[in-house]
Amino acid sequence: MKTETSDVLVIGAGPIGTYAAWRMAQAGLHVRCLERRTAQQPPSDIGLFHFERVAFDRTEVPLPKKKDLVCTYPGITVHTPDPDKHVWVDGIETWALDLNVFIRDLRRLAKQAGAVFRFGREARRLLVENGRVVGVAVQHGERSEEYRAAIVVDASGLHRFARRKMPAMNYPGCDKAFTVFMQYWRDAETKPGDGIHSYLGTNSWTARYPDNWIVGMGNNVPLTTLEAAHYEWTTRLFPGSTQVERSVAGTIPYSFPPPTLVDDGLIVIGDAAATNKPFNGEGIASGMNLAKIAAEEAPAALRAGADRRALWEINRRYFTDQGAKFAFLLAMGLSLIKLTDRELITAYDAGMFGADDLRQTFYNYEVKKPITDWALPLARLSRQMWTARKYAAAFLRATLVARHFENFPKLQSYAGWDKRFRKLVAPFT
């Protein structure tokens, strides 16, 4: 059987896995990246995706060539169920790009840095020796192969090839996900409008591209149910004929990350680690943050044996920062997703979410402002006691979860933290 060894083995050459391979190769590590698709196949089925302009600076991904930039948006319009009540959020510069081109550009950077890609390799079996992950057995056509490494990185998306096999990384409800259904429209009789639009209550959005629109919806329901809801919403909001160029369906994580992102010889990143933004489902820029942390810590961890203790700093850096912020937003979202249309409009009328609040959420993943700025909205909301109680209870639960993440412990104190983690997230699963 053919066997290859390296410092790092990345499972999955999507955007996050390829980015991790690039950053780890840049750090001087010998990296191999496995991908089940062939080199000739499109890297993704998604098509166009959105990437904030500031994310290029944060991730250090080179700016795309002008010809690869589909269009740009200066902001986003957030709609309540009342068509006359919406918020224009400016200052959020977003770029639309072709995900296939984006991934291929990342692969080129990774190869230039020294990473080696093996395409057409389907991971079949995780190699574990004495409780430590040491590699992957794959199928390549009619041939079986083994790839071994000191550090294995699971970037296999919701497949979670390695994570699913590690008890410490899973908890009841960790597979909670949103089904997403999108259509590309052309020649719509009732045009969805320019720019990006987000619709509260239906978890829907539209985006205008030069030649068409994308009209999407997401929810934790079966695809057939979501397609019916999408049809009802679009025919009500955008009546008349339209030409549907194609439809795209898939799933995105809608759960908390595993209580540990590392184990002996293993790191999980991307959708395998549920690092997509809880408020809009975009997972590439936010997933790259964890991959960047992992790449920065990997060389020292490798020298120290790449066991759980050596990799533990990845946990601490992620959970106490972005992980805590996302935990708060996810807990709030899971608590408030069942608000009625009337309750959403009441919150809008009270001033519970304004343009600056939404801008901070998109850019910084949190809202920071003096308590005095909350006084008037809270006073207005208090007139609707049932809605106020829902918001207060959601805020309290989310704060408890976020504080727990912020206090991520050293390894010797982890058992108690993990027990509390599972208790806190149980009501959301």
pLDDT tens, per residue, the chain with 429 residues:
789 999 999 999 999 999 999 999 999 999 999 999 999 999 998 888 999 999 999 999 999 999 999 999 999 999 999 989 999 999 889 999 999 999 999 999 999 999 999 999 999 999 999 999 999 999 998 899 999 999 999 999 999 999 999 999 999 999 999 899 999 999 999 999 999 999 998 999 999 999 999 999 999 899 999 999 999 999 999 999 999 999 999 999 999 999 999 999 999 999 999 999 988 878 899 999 999 999 999 999 999 999 999 999 999 999 999 999 999 999 998 888 878 899 899 988 888 888 999 999 988 999 887 877 777 787 887 788 878 888 888 899 999 999 999 999 999 999 999 999 999 999 998
Whole-angstrom distance, CA of residue 66 vs CA of residue 74: 17
Which DSSP string do the residues of 304-350 spell out, in sequence order?
A: TTSSHHHHHHHHHHHIIIIIHHHHHHHHHHHHHTT--HHHHHHHHHH
* DSSP-assigned beta bridge partners for residue 20: none
Query: Residue 346 is encoded by which pair of tokens?
Result: 């009441």
Between the alpha carbon of residue 326 and those of residues 13, 15, 86, 274, 295, the distances in Å are 25, 20, 24, 10, 21
Helix (H, G, I), strand (E, B) or coil at 400: helix
Nearest to 200 by CA among 77, 364, 283: 77
What predicted TM-score, i.e. pTM, was given to this entire model? 0.95
Measured CA angle at 372 (ends 280, 90), to 5 deg: 35
Q: Is the dihedral of CA 65, 71, 77, 80 positive or negative?
A: negative
Please name each of the domains of the chain with its CATH number.
2-70+96-173+255-321 (3.50.50.60), 177-253 (3.30.70), 328-428 (no CATH)
